[in-house]
A and B are shown apart, each in its own frame.
Chain A
Amino acid sequence: SQTIHQWPATLVQPVGSPLSLECTVEGTSNPNLYWYRQAAGRGLQLLFYSVGIGQISSEVPQNLSASRPQDRQFILSSKKLLLSDSGFYLCAWRGNPVDMNTEAFFGQGTRLTVV
């Protein structure tokens, strides 16, 4: 069966520090991968999605970047965190092909607090 792992679960970082959140998927190959951010009491904002290794689509211009160095690994990064980067970060995967009508499966999320 397929599983998705996100870590860490919680993170407190000072303003100006770098960030690296990792997401890995097991049990499937060539998944579509997504990073979302959720502010407290708000909806899910799509940040990045990837249909293959090295292929990243950015949805919102911001202080973050994403990379997909391996088929089942998706990394969210920042060189210098801002207070506004605080939030709940969720990674998700969907099966391929990209236009297939299947749901996305989510990780348990990372609660990031920038202080």
Chain B
Amino acid sequence: GESVGLHLPTLSVQEGDNSIINCAYSNSASDYFIWYKQESGKGPQFIIDIRSNMDKRQGQRVTVLLNKTVKHLSLQIAATQPGDSAVYFCAEKNNQGGKLIFGQGTELSVKP
């Protein structure tokens, strides 16, 4: 769900390790989910998406997992690199009206 008033949680990982970023969504009617990466002072950029009829989708170095039972989404980044340092947001689209609602976001920091 939308938690825009809260400070972003942070995740710090060592370069080369795998990162897991979690997101809880609130609307069981949401049928499409997206992960975005936002670098400082820029607009969010698309990373990967998943439809509600799937539970896993893989991209280049990234995997998204969807657990509809507990309304949970995760983004896994393999072999995390310094260039992966950014804020990561999940977004959910409901199946009526096309609203796109963003989750709280997580700030990922990669240590060299």
In the complex, what residues of B have CB within 8 A of residue A105's CB?
46
Contact B4 A90 (CB under 8 A): no
Q: For the complex, what is the distance from the CA of A43 to the CA of B9, rounded to whole Å?
A: 11
Measured CB to CB, the nearest residue on chain A to B47 is: A103
- How many cross-chain pairs have Cβ atoms below 8 Å apart between A and B? 79
Q: Which of the residues A42, A43, A49, A108 comes within 8 Å of B43, measured between beta carbons?
A: A108
Say how far B84's CB is from chain A's closest CB, in angstroms. 19
The interface size bin for chain B is 20 to 34
* Complex Cα–Cα for A88 and B35 (A): 20
Chief secondary structure at chain A's binding surface: strand
A90 to B91, CA, bound (A): 15
Tell me the chain A residues, 59-106 only, with Cβ under 8 Å from chain B: 59, 90, 92, 94, 98-99, 101, 103-106
Other-chain residue from A36, A41, A49, A109 in contact with B98 (beta carbon distance below 8 A) = A49
State the B residues within 8 Å of A (CB): 2-8, 31-32, 34, 41-46, 49, 51, 89, 91, 93, 95-105
Q: Give me 12 A-to-B residue pairs in the complex whose CB atoms sit less than 8 angstroms apart, sorted by A's number.
A: A32-B98, A42-B4, A42-B8, A43-B103, A44-B102, A49-B98, A57-B97, A90-B43, A92-B43, A103-B34, A104-B91, A107-B43
